[in-house]
Amino acid sequence: MDPVSILLSFISVIVAGFLAGLLGSLTGLGGGTVLVPVLTLFLGIPIVFATGASLISTIATSAGSASGYTKSKIANIRIAIGLEVATTTGAIAGSITLIAVYKTGLIWIIYVIFGLVLLISLVPTINRARFELPKKMKPDWTTRVFNLYGSYYDQKLKKQVDYHAVRWWLGEIVMFFAGFISGLLGIGSGALKVLGMDWAMNLPMKVTTTSSNFMIGITAATGSSIYWFAGYIQPFLAAATAIGVLAGAYLGSKILVRITNVRIRWIFFWVLAFLGVDMIFSGVVKEQGLPSTGTVSYIGFAVSIFISIVLLFLLYVKVRRDSRHA
């Protein structure tokens, strides 16, 4: 490659990282979930290098945004560290599984799982944030033993909110899977972490999203070091994605507060749904041993657009119906 095309390729990866960081931040799914499909589907980068670059870039975005949340005392560091017992264990298991899958040559499975996880994560992400505070639940024995109490100042509600978490054990179980997915797919798996704290432990949404963001860095660091020694991190690629994703996520967090129109987010969700379906399609194409360029990729593109529109339409109808009943 000549120096000019090297520079252009490097810039295109930074731009891909930037878009992934921006979209990941605006939808709340995180940069990695968008970055891996963009790198593999559009830039033709091998999925192992894509997952490696994604996971290590995730630490940068997590640390960057969490530094703000922890200072304003919304994230609950104590509860987050307690849950990291499960996520780091899961991350170790997930990374080792990825190595095993890669060695057996069944890498197409990673594409399919990635696509499915992306599509499934969309459901709680879209449903999220409709209620600021959870329904009151009585403290259980884990609330007392693990001291799961906290409080934060809610700027939107303009009051100090006291809260407590329940079902610590269920949170840990969900977090193990969140860590596993993080290590297996090279993403922060923020959607699953939010599920663990919101659905399982009944924490307020603000505490959940900010604490999950803080946790992502610790989980991703565990997987990244295993990826490093397995050779899944291509340093030049990871340099470009780390810079791009961080910049994109930063801009995303700045404009997120200004986006009041909820409908605009549906366009972002559609892009994510498209990436998810296209990942599954690519996995199936690889399994069949078909070439992933030319006619096959055009068919995949068309099919993915069609299916993602149908999926999102169904989800939109469901959300509309739910909110009318509420």
Closest approach, Cβ 321 to another protein, in A, equals 41
Q: What does the per-residue mask of binding to another protein show for 192-231, with x meaning CB under 8 A? A: -------------------------xx--xxxxxxxxxxx
Per-state percent for the chain, helix, strand, coil, to nearest 5: 75, 5, 20
Closer residue to another protein, CB minimum distance, 125 or 182: 182
Report the nearest approach of another protein to the CB of residue 63 (Å): 4
**What DSSP letter does each residue of 9-59 carry, written as one string?**
HHHHHHHHHHHHHHHHHHHTS-HHHHHHHIIIIIT---HHHHHHHHHHHHH
Across the chain, where does the E strand assignment appear? 149-154, 159-164
Identify the residue among 38, 60, 197, 207 touching another protein (CB under 8 A).
60
For position 187 contacting another protein by CB under 8 A, the verdict is: no
Interface pattern 235-254 for another protein (x via CB under 8 A): xxxxxx-xx--x--------
Measure the CA–CA gap between 291 and 84, rounded to whole angstroms. 41
**Per the structure block, which two tokens stand in for 256?**
């997120």
| 105 counts as binding another protein under rule CB under 8 A | no
Using the minimum distance from each CB to another protein, give the nearer residue, 85 or 137: 85
Rounded CA separation 192/322 (Å)? 22
84 belongs to the binding site for another protein (CB under 8 A): yes
Q: Quote the least distance from Cβ 60 to another protein, whole Å.
A: 6
Q: Which of 48, 55, 46, 23 is nearest to 264 (CA)?
A: 23
DSSP bridge partners of 149: 164
Contacts of 203 (CB under 8 A, 6+ apart): 76, 79, 134, 163, 165, 197, 211
Q: How far is the CB of 265 from another protein (least distance, A)?
A: 27
Tell me how far CA of residue 191 lies from CA of 181, 199, 280, in angstroms: 11, 11, 19
Site for another protein in 7-26 (CB under 8 A): 7, 9-10
Residues at the interface with another protein (CB under 8 A): 1-3, 6-7, 9-10, 44-46, 48-49, 52, 56, 59-60, 63-64, 66-68, 70-71, 73, 77-78, 81-82, 84-85, 88-89, 91-92, 95-96, 99, 145-147, 217-218, 221-240, 242-243, 246
